[in-house]
Amino acid sequence: MHRTAATGAALAALALPWGITASASAETVASRPEARVAAASATVAAYQAQVGPLTEVEAMVTAADAGRSLRSRLADAREEALQARYTPAYSRDYAKAYMRKHYGWGASEFRSLVQLWTRESNWDHTATNPTSGAYGIPQSLPASKMASEGDDWRTNPEPQIRWGLKYIRDTYGSPSATVAFWNSNGWY
């Protein structure tokens, strides 16, 4: 792309957040105090990053690109941190605390729950049954039922556990009764 065209496109893209239309001239953008401050800040950031843009607009483009890259890296790091946090041990601890607080179930019911969900998913919140499509720690079928406990049910064990415990209570009464049913039928 020709340098003038690239600069114009970048100017239009960066000017829009400040209420300037895409057809605005460079002089119009340069006259806006917030655009001038952003350009100066972008120039400093770009030089510190050893990019060395030649114009304020190029500095703004460089800073915007760096910002998108940084946001992407931060999102990736957040996802990795969440996945590292969501271990089977974390899920068991969460289930134990949740069932005690919300249902009053004690240690023997927790042992039954551990037995049940170890059989079903080994406490893997991304476990998928290749035959039926059942998903998550409680192996919900259809999996989308767990959305009633949170939009992030695909990637977060907490809504899966909440949904699974509610299902156990409403259908069987307790984890131990659910295990008894599972032992007789091979499913729950």
58 pLDDT above the threshold of 50: yes
How much is the pLDDT for 118? 98
Question: Per residue in 138-166, is it b (16+ CB within 10 Å) or e — as a string?
Answer: bbbeebeebeebeeebbebbbbbbbbbbe
Please say whether the beta carbons of 81 and 148 come within 8 A: no
Banded model confidence at residue 80, pLDDT cuts 50, 70, 90: confident
- Cα(156)–Cα(175) distance, integer angstroms: 21
Banded model confidence at residue 25, pLDDT cuts 50, 70, 90: very low
Give 6's contacts (C-beta < 8 A, 6+ positions apart): none
- Cα(42)–Cα(10) distance, integer angstroms: 13
> Which among 152, 2, 164, 5 has a CA at the least distance from the CA of 86?
152
Q: For residue range 85-108, what is the model confidence (pLDDT) as tens digits?
A: 889 999 999 999 999 999 999 999
**DSSP 3-state helix, strand, coil percentages of the chain (rounded to 5)?**
70, 0, 30
23 vs 32: which has the higher pLDDT: 32
How much is the pLDDT for 91? 97
Q: For residue range 116-155, what is the model confidence (pLDDT) as tens digits?
A: 999 999 999 999 999 999 999 999 999 999 999 999 999 9
40 pLDDT above the threshold of 80: no
